[in-house]
Amino acid sequence: MTHAHESASLTGLLDTDAIRKDFPVLQRLLHDDKPLVYLDNAATSQKPRQVLEALTAYYERHNANVHRGVHVLAEEATALYEGARDKVADFVNAPSRNEVIFTKNASESLNLVANMLGWADEPYRVDADSEIVITEMEHHSNIVPWQLLSQRTGAKLKWFGLTDEGRLDLSNIDELITEKTKVVSFTLVSNLLGTINPVETIVRKAQSVGALVVIDASQAAPHMVLDVQALEADFVAFTGHKMLAPTGIGVLWGRQELLEDLPPFLGGGEMIETVTMGSSTYAPAPHKFEAGTPPIAQAVGLGAAIDYLSGIGMEKIAAHEHAITAYAVERLLEIPDLRIIGPRTAVDRGAAISFTLGDIHPHDVGQVLDEQGIAVRVGHHCARPVCLRYGIPATTRASFYLYSTPGEVDALIDGLHHVRNFFG
Amino acid sequence: MKLDSMYQDIILDHYRNPHGKGLRDGDAEVHHVNPTCGDEITLRVRLDGSTVADVSYESQGCSISQASASVLNDLVVGKTVGEAQAVQEAFLELMQSKGQGEGDEEVLEDAVAFAGVSKYPARVKCALLSWMAWKDATAKALAQNPAVND
Ligand SMILES: Cc1ncc(COP(=O)(O)O)c(C=O)c1O
Ligand SMILES: [Zn+2]
Q: What digits encode the pLDDT tens for the residues A282-316?
A: 999 999 999 999 999 999 999 999 999 999 999 99
Instruction: Please say if the pLDDT value at position B16 is more than 80.
Output: yes
In terms of Cβ atoms closer than 10 Å to its own Cβ (0-12, 13-18, 19+), residue A222 is: buried
Choice among A41-45, A365-369, B121-125 with the minimum mean pLDDT: B121-125
* Overall average pLDDT of the B118-143 stretch: 95
**What's residue B36's pLDDT?**
73
Choice among A44-53, A226-235, A380-389, B22-31 with the minimum mean pLDDT: A380-389
pLDDT bucket at B37, cuts 50 / 70 / 90? confident
Q: Min CA distance, B36 vs chain A (Å)?
A: 7
Calpha distance B108→A199 (Å, rounded): 57
Instruction: Please say if the pLDDT value at position A155 is more than 90.
Output: yes
Q: Min CA distance, A380 vs chain B (Å)?
A: 7
Instruction: Please say if the pLDDT value at position B34 is more than 90.
Output: no
Q: Could you identify the atom of ligand 1 that is nearest to the CA of residue A247?
A: 10
B63–chain A Cβ distance below 8 A for any pair: yes
* Overall average pLDDT of the A18-35 stretch: 96
**What's residue A280's pLDDT?**
92
**What's residue A32's pLDDT?**
87
In terms of Cβ atoms closer than 10 Å to its own Cβ (0-12, 13-18, 19+), residue A88 is: buried
* Overall average pLDDT of the A134-159 stretch: 98
B38–chain A Cβ distance below 8 A for any pair: yes
Calpha distance A279→A292 (Å, rounded): 18
pLDDT bucket at A25, cuts 50 / 70 / 90? very high
The amino acid occupying position A48 is P
The crossing angle, in degrees rounded to 10, of helices A296-312 and A314-332 is 80
B42–chain A Cβ distance below 8 A for any pair: no
* Overall average pLDDT of the A25-43 stretch: 96
Sign, CA dihedral B35-A343-A317-A315, equals negative
**What's residue B4's pLDDT?**
82
Residue A44 CA from chain centroid, whole number: 9
Q: Percent of chain A, pLDDT > 90?
A: 94
Calpha distance A122→A322 (Å, rounded): 43
In terms of Cβ atoms closer than 10 Å to its own Cβ (0-12, 13-18, 19+), residue A349 is: buried
Q: What angle do CA A412, B99, B111 make, to 5 degrees?
A: 95
Residue range A9-20, pLDDT digits in tens? 799 999 999 999
Residue range A165-220, pLDDT digits in tens? 999 999 999 999 999 999 999 999 999 999 999 999 999 999 999 999 999 999 99
Residue A29 CA from chain centroid, whole number: 28
Q: Which residues contact A232 (CB under 8 A, 6 or more apart)?
A: A203, A207, A213
* Overall average pLDDT of the B96-103 stretch: 91
Q: Whose CA is nearest to atom 16 of ligand 1?
A: A191
- Alpha-carbon separation of residue A205 from A100, A110, A178, A288 (angstroms): 26, 21, 9, 31
**What's residue A1's pLDDT?**
43
B120 to chain A: nearest residue by CA? Answer: A367
- For residue A166, which phi and psi values (nearest 5 degrees)? 85, 25
Q: What is the length of chain A?
A: 424
Of A393, A422, A423, nearest to B38 by CB-CB distance is A393
* Overall average pLDDT of the A63-84 stretch: 94
The amino acid occupying position A417 is H
**What's residue A283's pLDDT?**
93
What mean pLDDT value characterizes chain A? 96
Chain A residues with beta carbon closer than 8 angstroms to that of B36: 379
The crossing angle, in degrees rounded to 10, of helices B81-95 and B63-76 is 150
Choice among A96-100, B82-86, B119-123 with the minimum mean pLDDT: B119-123
Pairing state of beta strands A352-357 and A338-341? antiparallel
Per the CB < 8 A criterion, the answer to whether B22 and B58 are in contact is: yes
Give the pTM.
0.93
In terms of Cβ atoms closer than 10 Å to its own Cβ (0-12, 13-18, 19+), residue A277 is: exposed
- Alpha-carbon separation of residue B22 from A23, B42, B73 (angstroms): 50, 9, 11
| Cβ within 8 Å, pair B38-A368 | no
Calpha distance A140→A122 (Å, rounded): 28
pLDDT bucket at A223, cuts 50 / 70 / 90? very high
pLDDT bucket at A8, cuts 50 / 70 / 90? low
Higher pLDDT, A135 or B36: A135
**What's residue B148's pLDDT?**
54
Distance B64 CA to ligand 2 centre (A): 6
Instruction: Please say if the pLDDT value at position A55 is more than 60.
Output: yes
Rg of chain A over all Cα atoms, to the nearest angstrom:
22
Calpha distance B112→B109 (Å, rounded): 6
Residue range A238-259, pLDDT digits in tens? 999 999 999 999 999 999 999 9
CA-closest candidate to residue B22, choices B49, B47, B41, B48: B41
Q: Could you identify the atom of ligand 1 that is nearest to the CA of residue A191?
A: 16
Ligand 1 shell residues, CB under 6 Å: A 105-107, 139, 141-142, 187, 191, 216, 218-219, 239, 241, 382
Is omega for the bond preceding A123 within 30 degrees of 0, making it cis? Answer: yes
Tell me the ipTM for this assembly: 0.86
* Overall average pLDDT of the A262-289 stretch: 93
Per the CB < 8 A criterion, the answer to whether A110 and A119 are in contact is: no
Chain B residues with beta carbon closer than 8 angstroms to that of A393: 38-40, 60-61
Residue range A358-384, pLDDT digits in tens? 999 999 999 999 999 999 999 888 998
A322: number of CA atoms within 13 Å, CB side? 14
Three-state secondary structure string covering chain A = CCCHHHHCCCCCCCCHHHHHHCCHHHHCEECCCEECEECECCCCCCCCHHHHHHHHHHHHHHCCCCCCCCCHHHHHHHHHHHHHHHHHHHHCCCCCHHHEEEECCHHHHHHHHHHHHHHCCCCCCCCCCCEEEEECCCCHHHCHHHHHHHHHHCCEEEEECECCCCCECCCCHHHHCCCCEEEEEEECECCCCCEECCHHHHHHHHHHCCCEEEEECCCCCCCCCCCHHHHCCCEEEEEHHHHCCCCCCEEEEECHHHHHHCCCCCCCCCCEEEECCCCEEECCCCHHHCCCCCCHHHHHHHHHHHHHHHHHCHHHHHHHHHHHHHHHHHHHCCCCCEEEECCCCCCCECCEEEEEECCECHHHHHHHHHHCCEECEEECCCCHHHHHHCCCCCEEEEECCCCCCHHHHHHHHHHHHHHHHHHC
Instruction: Please say if the pLDDT value at position B5 is more than 90.
Output: no
* Overall average pLDDT of the A380-404 stretch: 94
Q: Percent of chain B, pLDDT > 90?
A: 81
Pairing state of beta strands A374-375 and A37-38? parallel
**What's residue B147's pLDDT?**
60
pLDDT bucket at B1, cuts 50 / 70 / 90? low
| Cβ within 8 Å, pair B38-A387 | yes
